[in-house]
């Protein structure tokens, strides 16, 4: 939302120098460069080509699906344990941890939806240099090279991917501090070990024996290590680090990890959001690496690898032949270096992309998704972290937000404005000012004294509301939420063991420990109607500031040495926002007794966040560049599973010109999460405030969104079932065409709609690439037909939104746009059948109640396949096991690109045939069938003759 403006004078004075030293661009000095982040600098200083790691082949153990092997660092003799798994669905998992870490190292929980099912590994060959394992599929093999340690994944003679081929595996082992103070501490730790040991030995003989042996073995090896380990040189920042005025105590010392991956033949890599940068990742040679560290960045810059609000450590590689992915499961601060080179391979000059991951703590746990098609990689990743949650239908409609709608009267006036100007909307949003002094779960007693009445008024118009609930909790002994969290000891602790406190909107605030499952369970109960007073079932939730944002913390976030139970904040940082949204979504589910689907918007996210709701691209600005950037940002998120993405329409900071506002509505209407939002300091910008012409343009854009809601809903259902993104880069559907690989000014919705928003001021035309040799595309407004695989110049006026329907597709619309999506529930459908060169088309129709889990729990839905072939359009059941009845019927069928028929007949399931009236426009080959009138859930066929 915002890193700006007043909370209270005191706070302002305290923060002014930090937050506002530059008025209208990010203050980079608030955020670390790699050089300023000690572990990143240490790691990046390691040069390639001198890997000290060697695989101890004799330690190899192979069970059915798991191979383990020790690695040794020949410089310091520290041993690592490598685990290899072959996973179902053509994936390989590589885990590397210390063989005997001084203390356990953090392993990310709760992100994988299950322990990934494995498949058997087969040892094919073995000699003193290494071994070869079969990866089952085709000719795919995994080669382990012993000295230096290196892994290669091969497909036949071709190397798909190599690990540590540049020798950048660096695993900083946990160690004791050398100076006297830490010796004292370590001797305490040592004696604790003795105690633990003695506890074990006092157990029954049988139990103790095994443990004893283990412990003894440990001890023995420790001694051995102590003898072997050559002390490494201390480097600055290993045991303490200071950034600006903030110091990080680092009691555990250095713990970072790094590994390199090489993709021979690859020129295009994507993913690792969130960055305000191009879709295709750029080389970071000579510049900053891409950074993954959830941060509240005030007025972020475009085309910049700086960290933003969310982090998904997933990278995709793509060539015309194969798509692959890497999922680096680590929640600590992470930097990713990308370099591309051209290598001589097989006599030719071939590209290569090298990727290097660096994380501050935890272990190496990486999933290699081997594709081969883009959709395979996406399915593979979805099988690990789950798919997009299926939102209530209304959440796909239009959202009206502003910081802030001032009071109930204001809410009502805005609500009435939409009716007066005949613009549909489903959700009105309340930002932080609606609370009683920034105490979330409360209402301002003056401005929102009757929240139920307000919600009921909205409900009477079938509309809904979202209130903001942030995770920072005002430290105030009379505030119920704070009191309970404190009494249950649920707050994150500072390094000295007291409750961690930082500044945020309410002033001094505590931060609940969302990594604690008990805390999350308690938080969820706070959304019950009797706990969150004044709420009703049409109220949903927005989690902001959950990076977490700490105004007076290092880099505007939490100190890394803060404690979440036994773990440091350093270990879990990028997970915090993920857990906040998880617990909130759980709360919304629980309050309805598990019946209703939740809707929760979050700003911070991690891998797996797609399971809990929507994300938006944070505090953007009312600038053309930000409008443009909304496309690659949401495309990148879609590639890593997060389909429900949007940018603040109009731009959050600053004031858009009417032209920019209109263009943003037009673009936003075709992006998954469609919400207008505005900063407190900006003038009002409800859609009717810019004169009748602009109002009409905005109305038209929003209406286009509403007519397409059936298609959006079906896309989200599909995303929920398969993980395939709703908003797709062109290369995903046309993976063999290199012309699509870097396109980021247009996108596909599903595979059937291509959208090229106008994102330039004063534009008179755009050039859209219509992909696919042999494909045809139809302008959805003029029905004009265009051949695929060409660049098309499209002249535009202010009301143009260039959108094309793919020939060969059937898209369902509801053309009776009403006040809100719920008002349209029983309305009839119009089918748009756009034929391809072969004269065929197909599509789907999905219908359920739009808001409950009954589709899942009771199979209550309709899922139909629509096919048009040889002059017959028919609707058939895709899911015979499900049941649902709808009042909706088929109002009209529009065929695009067909010759004029002599007759059209409808044949219903009972065999009855009736003629259908139609109109035909020869100029655009447009055929409109009048009122088939069949129920949308029924079997039927229409024959054209």
Partner 1 sequence: MHFHIAVAVIIWAALFVESRKIRGISISYKRFYKERKSFLCIDGSKLIPFEQVNDDYCDCADGSDEPGTAACPSGRFYCTNLGFRPHYIQSSRVNDGICDCCDGSDEYSSPALCQKTCRNLGQQERAELEERMRMLSEGLLMKRQLVEEGADVWREKQAELTDLQKVAEDLQVRLEYLRRRKSDAGAQKEKALTAAQHPTGQEGLRSQIRAELPLDDHGQSLQDTDRLGDKDEGVEPRTDSAAPREESPNEAEVRGGDPSEDDPDVKAAVEAAESAVSDLNKAEEAHQRLQMEIRELEERLAIDYGPEREFLFLLGRCFQITAYEYSYTLCPFNQVTQKSQMGTEVLLGKWDAWDGPPEDLYGVMKYDRGEPCWQGPTRSTHVQLVCGTDSTLRWVKEPSKCHYAMELQTPAACQPQQPSRRGVHNEL
Residue positions annotated with a catalytic role: 544, 619
CA distances from 267 to 310, 323, 341 (A): 26, 11, 9
Measured from the CB atom, is 12 or 122 closer to partner 1?
12
Measured from the CB atom, is 815 or 925 closer to partner 1?
815
Q: How far apart are CA 367 and CA 387, in angstroms?
A: 17
Please state the closest distance from residue 829 (CB atom) to partner 1, in A: 13
Q: How far apart are CA 586 and CA 904, in angstroms?
A: 51
β-strand partners of 134: 122, 141
First-residue to last-residue Cα distance in the chain: 57
Sign of CA dihedral 615, 501, 247, 7: positive
CA distances from 83 to 16, 26, 257, 334 (A): 49, 42, 16, 22
Measured from the CB atom, is 52 or 437 closer to partner 1?
437
Instruction: Please name the helix (run of DSSP H) or strand (run of DSSP E) that holds residue 711, with its range, or none.
Output: helix 709-722
Q: Does 179 bind partner 1 (CB under 8 A)?
A: no
Classify strands 150-155 and 53-62 as parallel, antiparallel or unpaired: unpaired
Please state the closest distance from residue 542 (CB atom) to partner 1, in A: 20
Q: How far apart are CA 182 and CA 192, in angstroms?
A: 15
Q: How many CB atoms are located within 10 Å of the residue 205 CB?
A: 8
Residue with tokens 């795919």: 140
Q: Does 782 bind partner 1 (CB under 8 A)?
A: no
Number of residues that bind partner 1 (CB under 8 A): 33
Please state the closest distance from residue 843 (CB atom) to partner 1, in A: 22
Please state the closest distance from residue 763 (CB atom) to partner 1, in A: 28
Among 180, 446, 782, 791, contact with partner 1 (rule: CB under 8 A): 446
Among 158, 197, 373, 462, contact with partner 1 (rule: CB under 8 A): 462
Please state the closest distance from residue 459 (CB atom) to partner 1, in A: 10
Residue 106: closest CA among 711, 529, 563: 563
Q: Which residues in 526-585 contact partner 1 (CB under 8 A)? A: none
Q: From 69-77, 101-109, 536-544, 823-831, give the range in contact with partner 1 by CB under 8 A.
A: 823-831
Among 126, 178, 900, 930, contact with partner 1 (rule: CB under 8 A): 930
496: Cβ contacts below 8 Å, ≥ 6 apart = none
Residue 265: closest CA among 319, 303, 219, 199: 319
Among 819, 851, 863, 864, contact with partner 1 (rule: CB under 8 A): 819
Q: Does 246 bind partner 1 (CB under 8 A)?
A: no
Measured from the CB atom, is 683 or 922 closer to partner 1?
683
Among 498, 683, 911, 915, contact with partner 1 (rule: CB under 8 A): 683
Q: From 92-100, 325-333, 674-682, 736-744, give the range in contact with partner 1 by CB under 8 A.
A: 674-682
Measured from the CB atom, is 135 or 890 closer to partner 1?
890
Q: Does 827 bind partner 1 (CB under 8 A)?
A: yes
Q: How far apart are CA 853 and CA 857, in angstroms?
A: 6
Please state the closest distance from residue 427 (CB atom) to partner 1, in A: 17
Among 304, 713, 891, 937, contact with partner 1 (rule: CB under 8 A): 891
Q: Does 767 bind partner 1 (CB under 8 A)?
A: no
Among 516, 822, 836, 886, contact with partner 1 (rule: CB under 8 A): 822
Q: Does 139 bind partner 1 (CB under 8 A)?
A: no
Please state the closest distance from residue 684 (CB atom) to partner 1, in A: 5
Measured from the CB atom, is 119 or 422 closer to partner 1?
422
Among 175, 275, 720, 892, contact with partner 1 (rule: CB under 8 A): 892
Encoded tokens for 163: 């690990």
Q: How many CB atoms are located within 10 Å of the residue 58 CB?
A: 8
Helix axes 691-707, 709-722, angle to 10 degrees: 50
Q: Does 211 bind partner 1 (CB under 8 A)?
A: no
Please state the closest distance from residue 828 (CB atom) to partner 1, in A: 8
Q: Does 816 bind partner 1 (CB under 8 A)?
A: yes
Please state the closest distance from residue 11 (CB atom) to partner 1, in A: 13
Q: How far apart are CA 661 and CA 686, in angstroms?
A: 10
Q: Does 924 bind partner 1 (CB under 8 A)?
A: no
Measured from the CB atom, is 446 or 902 closer to partner 1?
446
Among 15, 20, 247, 784, contact with partner 1 (rule: CB under 8 A): 20
Radius of gyration, CA atoms only, the chain: 29
Please state the closest distance from residue 766 (CB atom) to partner 1, in A: 27
> Residue 707, exposed/middle/buried by CB under 10 A (0-12, 13-18, 19+)?
middle
Instruction: Please name the helix (run of DSSP H) or strand (run of DSSP E) that holds residue 668, with its range, or none.
Output: helix 658-668
Measured from the CB atom, is 158 or 461 closer to partner 1?
461
Among 35, 207, 214, 681, contact with partner 1 (rule: CB under 8 A): 681
Q: How far apart are CA 599 and CA 614, in angstroms?
A: 8
Within 13 Å and on the Cβ side, how many CA atoms surround 855?
22
Q: Does 815 bind partner 1 (CB under 8 A)?
A: yes
Q: How far apart are CA 930 and CA 916, in angstroms?
A: 6
Classify strands 567-568 and 563-564 as parallel, antiparallel or unpaired: antiparallel
Measured from the CB atom, is 463 or 573 closer to partner 1?
463
The SS3 assignment for 929 reads: strand
Q: Which residues in 397-436 contact partner 1 (CB under 8 A)? A: 406, 409-410, 422
Q: From 92-100, 231-239, 817-825, 861-869, give the range in contact with partner 1 by CB under 8 A.
A: 817-825
Please state the closest distance from residue 816 (CB atom) to partner 1, in A: 5
Q: How far apart are CA 305 and CA 31, in angstroms?
A: 12
Classify strands 747-749 and 464-468 as parallel, antiparallel or unpaired: unpaired
Q: Does 4 bind partner 1 (CB under 8 A)?
A: yes
Among 684, 793, 910, 923, contact with partner 1 (rule: CB under 8 A): 684
Q: Does 682 bind partner 1 (CB under 8 A)?
A: yes
Question: What would the 3-class secondary structure string for 310-324 be?
Answer: CCCCEEEEECCCCEE
Measured from the CB atom, is 420 or 518 closer to partner 1?
420
Q: Does 222 bind partner 1 (CB under 8 A)?
A: no
Measured from the CB atom, is 298 or 747 closer to partner 1?
298
β-strand partners of 467: 430, 541
Cα 628 versus chain centre, distance: 19
What are the φ/ψ torsions at residue 553 (nearest 5 degrees)? Answer: -95, 170
Q: How far apart are CA 674 and CA 394, in angstroms?
A: 11
Encoded tokens for 215: 């412990």
Residue with tokens 């302002």: 12
Instruction: Check if the beta carbon of residue 307 is closer than 8 Å to that of residue 293.
Output: yes
Measured from the CB atom, is 12 or 837 closer to partner 1?
12
Q: Does 447 bind partner 1 (CB under 8 A)?
A: yes
Length of the chain, please? 945
Among 56, 536, 680, 739, contact with partner 1 (rule: CB under 8 A): 680
Residue 46: closest CA among 337, 361, 366: 337
Q: From 325-333, 456-464, 753-761, 764-772, give the range in contact with partner 1 by CB under 8 A.
A: 456-464
Please state the closest distance from residue 161 (CB atom) to partner 1, in A: 49
Measured from the CB atom, is 422 or 849 closer to partner 1?
422
Please state the closest distance from residue 707 (CB atom) to partner 1, in A: 9
Residue with tokens 């009403």: 818
Instruction: Please name the helix (run of DSSP H) or strand (run of DSSP E) that holds residue 127, with its range, or none.
Output: strand 122-127
Q: Does 931 bind partner 1 (CB under 8 A)?
A: yes
Residues that bind partner 1 (CB under 8 A): 4-6, 12, 20, 23, 406, 409-410, 422, 446-447, 460-462, 680-684, 815-819, 822-824, 827, 891-892, 930-931
């Amino acid at each position: 939302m915002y890193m700006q403006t007043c909370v209270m004078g005191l706070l302002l004075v305290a923060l002014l120098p930090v937050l506002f030293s530059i008025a209208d661009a990010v203050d980079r000095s608030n955020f670390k460069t790699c050089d300023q982040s000690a572990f990143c600098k240490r790691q990046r200083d390691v040069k390639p080509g001198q890997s000290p790691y060697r695989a101890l082949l004799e330690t190899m153990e192979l069970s059915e699906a798991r191979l383990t092997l020790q690695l040794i660092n020949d410089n310091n003799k520290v041993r690592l344990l490598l685990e290899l798994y072959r996973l179902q669905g053509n994936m390989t998992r590589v885990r590397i941890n210390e063989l005997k870490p001084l203390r356990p190292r953090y392993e990310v929980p709760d992100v994988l939806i299950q322990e990934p099912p494995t498949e058997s590994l087969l040892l094919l060959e073995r000699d003193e240099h290494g071994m070869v394992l079969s990866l089952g599929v085709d000719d795919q093999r995994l080669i382990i090279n012993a000295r230096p340690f290196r892994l290669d994944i091969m497909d036949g003679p071709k190397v798909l991917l190599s690990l540590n081929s540049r020798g950048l595996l660096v695993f900083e082992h946990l160690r004791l501090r050398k100076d006297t103070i830490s010796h004292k501490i370590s001797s305490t730790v040592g004696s604790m070990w003795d105690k633990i040991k003695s506890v074990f030995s006092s157990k029954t003989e049988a139990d103790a024996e095994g443990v004893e042996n283990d412990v003894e073995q440990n001890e023995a090896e420790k001694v051995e290590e102590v003898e072997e380990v050559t002390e490494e040189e201390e480097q600055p920042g290993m045991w303490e680090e200071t950034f600006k005025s903030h110091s990080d105590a680092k009691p555990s010392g250095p713990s970072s990890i790094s590994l390199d991956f090489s993709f021979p033949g690859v020129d295009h890599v994507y993913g690792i959001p969130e960055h305000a940068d191009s879709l295709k990742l750029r080389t970071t040679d000579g510049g900053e690496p891409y950074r993954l560290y959830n941060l509240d960045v005030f007025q972020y810059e475009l085309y910049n690898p700086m960290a933003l609000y969310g982090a998904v450590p997933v990278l995709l590689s793509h060539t015309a032949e194969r798509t692959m992915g890497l999922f680096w499961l680590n929640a600590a601060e992470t930097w990713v270096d990308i370099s591309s080179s051209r290598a001589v391979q097989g006599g030719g000059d071939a590209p290569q992309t090298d990727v290097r991951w660096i994380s501050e703590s935890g272990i190496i746990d990486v999933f290699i998704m081997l594709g081969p098609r883009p959709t395979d990689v996406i399915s593979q990743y979805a099988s690990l972290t789950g798919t997009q949650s299926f939102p209530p239908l209304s959440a796909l409609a239009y959202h009206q937000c502003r910081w802030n709608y001032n009071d109930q009267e204001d809410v009502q006036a805005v609500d009435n404005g939409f009716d007066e100007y005949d613009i549909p909307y489903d959700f009105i949003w309340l930002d932080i000012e609606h609370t009683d002094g920034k105490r979330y779960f409360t209402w301002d007693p003056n401005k929102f004294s009757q929240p139920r009445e307000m919600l009921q008024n909205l409900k009477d118009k079938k509309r809904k509301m979202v209130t903001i609930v942030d995770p920072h909790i005002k430290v105030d002994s009379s505030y119920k939420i704070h009191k309970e969290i404190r009494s249950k000891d649920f707050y994150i602790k500072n390094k000295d063991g007291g409750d961690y406190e930082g500044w945020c909107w309410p002033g001094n605030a505590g931060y609940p420990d969302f990594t604690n499952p008990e805390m999350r369970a308690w938080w969820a109960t706070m959304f019950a109607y009797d706990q969150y007073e004044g709420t009703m079932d049409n109220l949903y939730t927005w989690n902001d500031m959950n990076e977490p944002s700490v105004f007076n913390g290092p880099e505007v976030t939490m100190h890394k040495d803060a404690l979440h139970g036994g773990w440091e904040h350093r270990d879990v940082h990028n997970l915090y926002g993920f857990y906040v949204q998880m617990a909130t979504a759980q709360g919304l589910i629980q309050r309805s007794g598990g019946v209703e689907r939740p809707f929760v918007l979050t700003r911070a996210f991690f891998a797996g966040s797609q399971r809990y709701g929507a994300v938006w691209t944070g505090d953007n600005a009312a600038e053309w560049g930000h409008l443009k950037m909304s496309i690659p940002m949401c495309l990148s998120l879609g590639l890593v599973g997060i389909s429900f993405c949007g940018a603040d329409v109009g731009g959050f900071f600053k004031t858009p010109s009417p032209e920019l506002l209109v263009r943003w509505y037009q673009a936003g209407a075709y992006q998954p999460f469609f919400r207008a939002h505005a900063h407190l300091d900006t003038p009002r910008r409800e859609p009717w405030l810019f004169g009748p012409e602009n109002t009409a343009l905005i109305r038209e854009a929003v209406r286009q969104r509403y007519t397409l809601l059936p298609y959006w809903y079906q896309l989200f259902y599909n995303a929920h079932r398969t993980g395939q993104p709703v908003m797709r880069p062109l290369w995903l559907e046309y993976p063999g065409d290199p012309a699509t690989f870097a396109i980021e000014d247009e996108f596909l919705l599903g595979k059937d709609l291509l959208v090229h928003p106008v994102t330039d001021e004063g534009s008179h035309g755009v050039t859209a690439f219509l992909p696919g040799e042999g494909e045809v595309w139809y302008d959805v407004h003029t029905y004009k037909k265009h051949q695929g695989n060409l660049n098309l110049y499209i002249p535009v006026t202010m009301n143009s939104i260039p959108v094309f329907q793919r020939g060969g597709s059937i898209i369902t619309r509801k053309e009776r746009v009403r006040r809100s999506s719920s008002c349209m529930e029983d309305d009839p459908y119009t089918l748009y059948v756009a034929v391809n060169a072969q004269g065929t088309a197909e599509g789907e129709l999905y219908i359920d109640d739009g808001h409950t889990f009954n589709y899942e729990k009771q199979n209550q839905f309709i899922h139909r396949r629509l096919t048009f072939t040889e002059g017959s359009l028919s609707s058939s059941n895709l899911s015979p096991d499900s049941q649902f009845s709808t009042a909706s019927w088929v109002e009209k069928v529009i065929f695009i690109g067909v010759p004029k028929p002599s007759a059209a007949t409808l044949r219903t399931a009972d065999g009855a045939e009736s003629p259908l009236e139609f109109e035909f426009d020869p100029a655009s080959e447009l055929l409109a069938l009048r009122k088939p009138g069949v129920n949308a859930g029924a079997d039927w066929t229409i024959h054209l003759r």
